[in-house]
Each structure stands twice: as structure tokens, then as C-alpha cells.
A and B are shown apart, each in its own frame.
Chain A
Amino acid sequence: MPTQTIDVASVDEIPHGKVKVVVADGRRIALCNYDGTIYAIDDVCTHDRGPLGQGELIGREIECPRHGARFDVSTGSVTRLPAVRPVRTYPVSVSDGRISVDVSS
């Protein structure tokens, strides 16, 4: 499957434990820095379809601020109610301090 990698941000823009929302190929993607590694997930909570990127990172999980749903940002799996479906993740590559995300489906 052909990849579709898009440069989205520089590494300095996302400090440890923080989240930054970017737009790539018309999608909103939340970039999360857990322990130095950048992960990319859809900026959409599978519970209420609202933005997820406004949430806090608690360890490797992001918590949706509106109702407390949680997702593991490294796998996208759902780890707490009221969400019951995983969130989509995107492969991330970092080179020369730039972050790129593969949005091919």
C-alpha cells in the first residue's frame, strides 16, 4: 500500500507529556509526546465525536476532557469508559527534528 506521509510539525513544538493538534490531508490529528516518543491519533473521541486533543496526557493515555474517556496513544485502544471503541492511530516518523505522519488508509 502506498504511503502518504505528510510533514506536520517540528519536535520542539511538543514538549514531554503534551499534545498538539495538527491538520494533515483534511484530518485533525493529535500528536502526543509520551516519554520522548511522538504518537499520532485522530483528534476525535469515539464516544462523542468531539475533539480529543484538548485532553490531558496521563502517562501513555490521553483523557478526553468532556466525559473522562481514555485511550492508549501508542495503540489507540480504548482504556476507559464511556468510550468503547478504539481511536485510529497513524504511523509517525521523525527525522531532522521534523515529525511526519502517514495518513494513507
Chain B
Amino acid sequence: MTDTLTHAKIERSAIDRLSKDEPAWLGQMRRAAFARYEELPQPGDATPGWRRLSLEGIDLHAPTPEPSRIDLRAADADRTRGLVVSSLRPALAAHGDALRETIAAAHLGKSVGRYAALAEALWQGGAVVIAPAGFQASVPVYIDVGAGPYHRVIVMAGTGAKLTVVETHREADRLSAGIVDVVCGQGASVHYVHVQDCANSASVFSHQRATLARDARLVSLNFGIGGCLSRSDVEVELCGQGAESDMLGLVFAEGQQEFDYHTLQGHRSPNTRSDLLFKSALDDRSHSAYTGVIIIDRGAQRSDAYQANRNLLLSEGARADTEPMLEIEADDVRCTHGATVGPVDEEQLFYARSRGLAPDDAARLIVDGFFQEVFEKFGEPAVTESLREKVAPHLGRVSAS
């Protein structure tokens, strides 16, 4: 039991070491975040929002900070035209003002928890991508996050800019906590993918927050297949009129994996639109918990918000919890949410088998089709193709019984 293991307590001096060569304001923010972390309890069975998760055998103690390597890939041509793709700490000097505002606002997120506060305090590996006004990226930017425990990514798209960012986590094998800020300027269009494909021993915490200015558009995809425990808070704030957000999620869980997603669609301005589709396929004795909140502020009239959570249970012992929530204070809105839980549809199976497919192949085809909708809504075939390849070996283990 975790109670009996001893862990080195993280001291505030760790922050002093980290912030030695950083601007003073960043050190202050790190300390404030650490104070918040210290006030929050370690999650357990009785903690609200954690009740149904199986935390047995999962080490939730904060690891000591260590450097985290982050690999960045972007087209040279794009860099030449002004796209900034850099490790975060070196960029603090050149882009301090812009970054400062974003970093300062991160902790205002609705559901900032213990591990987000920890990452905010102790991140070492980090990346920043800044697309200047009007910039049209030619190829996606790839951010591959290394094995260190705490990291931070910031993506900023200037007025009318257009870019795609793919952030991948594969290296973590213990507890890892990261924060992501995506800031979309007026009329900007951003596609963002968060890939969690970590080792089976990893517990991964991710806090992602996006703010959209007037007429901005964000299409995001959270793709989860790794780790033993994966907890993600994904929030989108539609701050400016006409902003639009498509939030997509895809989880393939097996063994005893636990996936816990908390999403927020925050409509703060009139004429905003959000559409969320989160799909999970659960095999063996895995478990998915989804909590989704749509908030429409009093003044956010003529807003439309949609939310759908679909769970496919592939075996006895797989479990799905879903909690879609609405808090609506404006009346001139259209708002719908829906959730389903069930096994592979009998009729679909029958149809596929009548085409000559063996039962296991039929089941795999159907699960593949189940995910297809999410990939299609995201677009960017080059990106989604590589995600399909990641799912393929897991699909290969699906059986019809």
C-alpha cells in the first residue's frame, strides 16, 4: 500500500533551483502554484470526482523534479517565415510579455487540480509555438514530450493565423503531469491533437485550457491509449463572439486501464458554438469515466452547444461512467447533450458476418468504424492516419465474445 512507502518530500528549494535563471515573475508564479498544490489533498476513494476510479496500486506521490527533454519538429520554411517553435525556457526572454499573460491566467481554469498545480510549479521541459498574425503553416508542428515528470506547452495563434500542432506523450513510465495552454487570436484557426500513448506503468495527468477570441476556431482531439491511469481536464473558453470549438476524444482501453476525462465547454459570449464528441471503446476490465460540463453564461445569447459521449463495452468487466452536465443561464440558445453505453450492436455484427466476416473481424471492423467518425470530424488525414496506426494493434486483440 502506498501509505507505507516513503517518498522524498518536494521542498520549496526545488523551485529556487528551477527559477534561478528565469524572470522573477515566473518564480513568483511557480511558488504560488506550489502553495496551491500543498493545499489540495491527494486523491482517494472519498475525494469528489475520484470515487469510481480504481486507484489501488497506483502511486500518486509527486516525483522529484527532473529535466524533461522535448523534441520539436517544424518545417524550416515555416520557421523562416516567422513561426516560433522553441523550448519554453529559452523563449521566455524573447517572448516574455506574451507568455507571461498566458502563464498567469492558467490557474484560473475551472477545475485546476493538484497535479496541474504541481506541473505549474515544477515544470522544466516545455515548448512554445507562436504563429504570428496571418501566418499559414504548411505542415503540422510536432511536439514529442520526453520522460520527465513535469512539463508545459503553450500554443499561441495570432490574428488570422492557421496551424496544426500534435503533442505526443510516449515516454512517461511513472507519474507525469503537464499543462497545455492554447490561445487562439481573433479569426485564428488551430487544430490541436493530444496523444497519450505512455507505458502501462504511467499515471498521466493533463490539464488543457484553450481560450478563443472573436471568430476563432479550435478543433482539438484527445487521443488516449496508454498509461494505467489517465486523468485529463480539457477546457475550452469561448470568450469572443462567433468563436467555435470542436472537441473530440478517442479512447481505446484494455487490461485494467482507467481513463478519466473532465471537459468544459464555456460559452462566455454571444453567437458561440461548441460541439463535443468523446468516444471510448473499453475491453477487458478497463474503465472510462467521463464528466462533461456545458456552461452558457447569462449574456451568451444565440449560442449553440452540443455534447455527445459514446461508450462501447467490448467485454464483461469493462465499465463506463458518464456524467454530462448543463448549466444554462441564457435562454436564446440551443443546447443538447447525450450519452450512450452499450456493447457492439447486434444488428451491425450480424450484417458484417453475413458479408462473410469471421466474428472477431466483424467486431474489429465495427470498432474501427466507431472511431472513424472522430477521425473524420478532425480532418487532417496525415495526422489521423498515424493515429489509426497506433490503434491498429489494440484493435487486433478485440474479440467478438
A→B interface (CB under 8 Å): 23, 26, 48-50
Q: Which residues from B are CB-within-8-Å of A23?
A: 1
Q: Which residues from B are CB-within-8-Å of A26?
A: 1
Q: A50 contacts B45, CB within 8 Å?
A: yes
Q: Which residues from A are CB-within-8-Å of B45?
A: 49-50
Distance in Å from the Cβ of A55 to the closest Cβ of chain B?
15
Q: Which residues from A are CB-within-8-Å of B79?
A: none
Q: Which residues from B are CB-within-8-Å of A48?
A: 51
Smallest CB gap from B3: residue in A = A23
Q: Which residues from A are CB-within-8-Å of B51?
A: 48-49
Complex Cα spacing A74 to B51, Å: 28
Q: Would you list 7 pairs from A and B whose C-beta atoms are within 8 A, ordered by A residue?
A: A23-B1, A26-B1, A48-B51, A49-B45, A49-B51, A50-B45, A50-B46
Interface string of B1-28 (1 = CB under 8 A from A): 1000000000000000000000000000
Complex Cα spacing A5 to B49, Å: 36
A-side binding surface: helix, strand, loop or mixed?
Answer: loop
Distance in Å from the Cβ of B321 to the closest Cβ of chain A?
13
Distance in Å from the Cβ of A87 to the closest Cβ of chain B?
15
B-side binding surface: helix, strand, loop or mixed?
Answer: loop
Smallest CB gap from B45: residue in A = A49
Smallest CB gap from B54: residue in A = A49
Q: Which residues from A are CB-within-8-Å of B1?
A: 23, 26
4 nearest CB pairs, A to B:
A26-B1, A49-B45, A50-B46, A49-B51
Smallest CB gap from B57: residue in A = A26
Complex Cα spacing A2 to B96, Å: 65
Distance in Å from the Cβ of A28 to the closest Cβ of chain B?
10
Distance in Å from the Cβ of A6 to the closest Cβ of chain B?
14
Smallest CB gap from A27: residue in B = B1
Question: Within B43-57, which residues are at the interface with A (CB < 8 Å)?
Answer: 45-46, 51
Smallest CB gap from A48: residue in B = B51
Complex Cα spacing A83 to B46, Å: 17
Complex Cα spacing A23 to B45, Å: 17
Distance in Å from the Cβ of A23 to the closest Cβ of chain B?
8
Complex Cα spacing A105 to B1, Å: 18
Q: Which residues from A are CB-within-8-Å of B46?
A: 50
Interface string of B31-70 (1 = CB under 8 A from A): 0000000000000011000010000000000000000000
Q: Which residues from B are CB-within-8-Å of A49?
A: 45, 51
Q: Which residues from B are CB-within-8-Å of A50?
A: 45-46
Complex Cα spacing A23 to B3, Å: 12
Complex Cα spacing A48 to B1, Å: 21
Complex Cα spacing A23 to B4, Å: 12
Complex Cα spacing A26 to B1, Å: 6
Complex Cα spacing A25 to B51, Å: 23
Distance in Å from the Cβ of A103 to the closest Cβ of chain B?
14
Complex Cα spacing A23 to B51, Å: 21
Complex Cα spacing A26 to B5, Å: 13
Smallest CB gap from B52: residue in A = A49
Distance in Å from the Cβ of A94 to the closest Cβ of chain B?
26
Interface string of B312-355 (1 = CB under 8 A from A): 00000000000000000000000000000000000000000000
Distance in Å from the Cβ of B125 to the closest Cβ of chain A?
35
